[in-house]
């Protein structure tokens, strides 16, 4: 596929689906059986998972705006890096967190692989720790230490079985 076409598809996905909530655009751009290599807990498979994630983010940050910072393509893959700004006035369902009312700026990136005129695979990374820090939602160090000890104990116990 032409690299410019893939870059246009990525920008449409980012700005129309995620930025504007036009989920019907996903039907055109995302294969129904999209393979998401970085799914979140509870995220449905395929295209439905992409819509699920976009809806969750848009509920948490209803005024969000995306800017595509960098988009490159070789004709099979397209890589995009973005910056999102928004105000947390809705629940962050992924963590079960109530709104804070705080503004955030968050970055992330995707690598999509295309077949035909649709994306069929995606690898992505979002700066969730940075977002949580801006929302003043980092766990206190004492809780992190307790969680680390519990994690180590569970790991050792599982290895002994």
When the pLDDT of each residue in the chain is averaged and rounded to a whole number, the result is 95
What's the confidence (pLDDT) of residue 111? 98
Segment 115-124 mean pLDDT? 96
Domain span at 94 = 3-160
Nearest to 14 by CA among 66, 69, 58: 66
Per the model's pLDDT, the better-predicted residue between 89 and 140 turns out to be 89
pLDDT band for position 148 (cuts 50, 70, 90): very high
Count of structural domains, the chain: 1
- Whichever domain contains 7, its CATH number is 3.10.450.50
Q: What confidence tens digit (pLDDT) does each residue in 31-88 have?
A: 999 999 999 989 999 999 999 999 999 999 999 999 999 999 999 999 999 999 999 9
Give residue for tokens 């992330």.
Answer: 108
């Amino acid at each position: 596929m032409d690299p410019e076409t893939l870059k246009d598809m990525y920008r449409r996905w980012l700005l129309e689906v995620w930025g504007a909530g036009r989920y019907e655009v996903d039907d055109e751009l995302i294969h129904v059986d999209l393979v998401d290599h970085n799914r979140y807990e509870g995220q449905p498979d395929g295209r439905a998972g992409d819509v699920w994630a976009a809806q969750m983010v848009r509920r948490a940050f209803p005024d969000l705006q995306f800017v595509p910072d960098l988009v490159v393509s070789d004709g099979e893959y397209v890589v995009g890096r973005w910056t999102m700004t928004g105000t947390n006035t809705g629940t962050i369902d992924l963590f079960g967190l109530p709104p804070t009312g705080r503004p955030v700026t968050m970055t992330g990136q995707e690598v999509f692989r295309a077949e035909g005129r649709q994306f069929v695979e995606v690898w992505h990374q979002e700066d969730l720790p940075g977002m949580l820090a801006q929302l003043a939602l980092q766990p206190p160090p004492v809780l992190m230490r307790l969680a680390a000890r519990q994690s180590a104990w569970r790991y050792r116990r599982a290895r002994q079985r």
